[in-house]
Amino acid sequence: MAKSVEDLLAEGVSGRHVLVRSDLNVPLDGTTVTDDGRVKASLPVLTKLAQAGAKVIVMAHLGRPKGKVDPQFSIAPAATRLSELADFSVIIAEDVVGQDAQSKAESLQDGEVLVLENVRFDARETSKDDAERGEFADELVKLTGENGAYVDDAFGAVHRKHASVYDVAKRLPSYLGDLVKTEVDVLAKTLNNPERPFVVIMGGAKVSDKLAVIDNLIGKADTILIGGGMGYTFAAAQGYKVGKSILESDQISTVKRYIEEAQSKGTELVTAVDVVCGDDFSNDAKFETRPIDDMEGGELGADADGLDIGPETRKLFAEKIKSAKTIFWNGPVGVAEFENTAHGTKAVAEAIVHSDAFSIIGGGDSAAAVRKLGYTDDQFGHISTGGGASLEYIEGKTLPGLDALGA
């Protein structure tokens, strides 16, 4: 049974170095943080530890610097924003485990927080070689002295077998951060004991990215609504022509099998009955709404490119969502970055907001889409901080970071 931050605080942290894996992977415009949501989300655990007198050392990554020092991926802007929001003193190291980090870790005072430079500046962080990752983990652990502890508060990274996520957890007394614990509790309940009806909405461009999720949810969900680019592979599997829409022909046989399995296992699989087609992948395309069984009819003909679910499908999806008690949504159901093809995604978000269900937004593109459409996080039950991690959890995969913590 994994221990929590509360367990660590009960054991006592005053005067101890505590390594915390946080998620500070924020979007930047130059050196300006354009969305500080992850920084704000990291504050509660860091504040708890600092107020309890811990000497906190934060490990985090930003972007993909590919194992080399790259100033455009420096953690400094995120750390600076943390210092502006925090009630504790924030010190920023100029390297990861080098002289500056070592010196500042040694001189850290009770209640202060040291943010190390981007852990991905060191190629060993993401190495496939256990020995290389272990060597880096040893150097990170060394910063904590004789009585260190480790807290993982970065759910968005728990599906990675990285040094700061997996190997450090194997070397120190380890604890679940509040963000990780909340994610695990919410997703586990959703997967294993949802209040019913349990409705899943799956979107996004590629069906291959979501096949394992759909496979694991068939028989567990009462209803699965399929939209987005992946919907055209489902349409093709049902025998419909889909024009120039995104299509993964090599997945059609698998999708056919899932359609049959859903029927036999009591999961209702709902696909689009009409779609908004365009003659170009752009906001300025010539649009036409076509029934799915005659998508290549009308003026566009075989040039039709499905870009959004149509109005009848929006009504159908909204009816299913209205009846739900638990909702899990991952992936926009249309090209949400275009104003003219975001209507389906907006309709889904609107239906969820006005439903009585507990809703989980599966991070990533879905979260970005609802925020862009003007919805706030508190209008949904839970917005996951890790899209890839939440999907892999729902797939039923073992996540290295959680495995290392015993969660």
Q: 62 labelled as ligand-binding?
A: yes
Q: 337 labelled as ligand-binding?
A: yes
Range 70-91 burial, b when 16+ CB lie within 10 A, else e? eeebbbbbbbbbbbeebebebb
Q: 160 labelled as ligand-binding?
A: yes
**Which of these is catalytic: 310, 344, 388, 401?**
388
Q: 118 labelled as ligand-binding?
A: no
The letter for the amino acid at 67 is G
Q: 117 labelled as ligand-binding?
A: no
| Separation CA 126–CA 108 (nearest Å) | 27
Q: 21 labelled as ligand-binding?
A: no
364 is annotated as an active-site residue: yes
**Which of these is catalytic: 38, 55, 81, 124?**
38
Q: 64 labelled as ligand-binding?
A: yes
Q: 279 labelled as ligand-binding?
A: no
Residue 13, token pair as written in the block: 């942290």
111 is annotated as an active-site residue: no
**Which of these is catalytic: 364, 386, 387, 401?**
364
Residue pair 14/52 in contact by the 8 Å Cβ criterion? yes
Tell which residue, 96, 90, 34, 41, has the closest CA to residue 65. Answer: 96
Q: 334 labelled as ligand-binding?
A: no
Q: Which residues partner with 243 through β-bridges?
A: none
Q: 177 labelled as ligand-binding?
A: no
**E strand intervals along 6-81:** 17-21, 28-29, 32-33, 55-59
Q: 116 labelled as ligand-binding?
A: no
128 is annotated as an active-site residue: no
Q: Edge-to-edge strand order for the sheet containing 287-291? A: 287-291, 274-278, 305-309
**Which of these is catalytic: 189, 206, 241, 322?**
206
Q: Sign of dihedral through CA atoms 328, 331, 336, 337?
A: positive
- 368: helix, coil or strand? helix
Q: 365 labelled as ligand-binding?
A: yes
- Known binding site: residues? 23-25, 38, 61-64, 120, 160, 210, 306, 337, 363-366
Catalytic residues: 38, 206, 364, 388
- Known binding site for substrate: residues? 23-25, 38, 61-64, 120, 160
- Known binding site for (2R)-3-phosphoglycerate: residues? 38, 120, 160
- Known binding site for ATP: residues? 210, 306, 337, 363-366
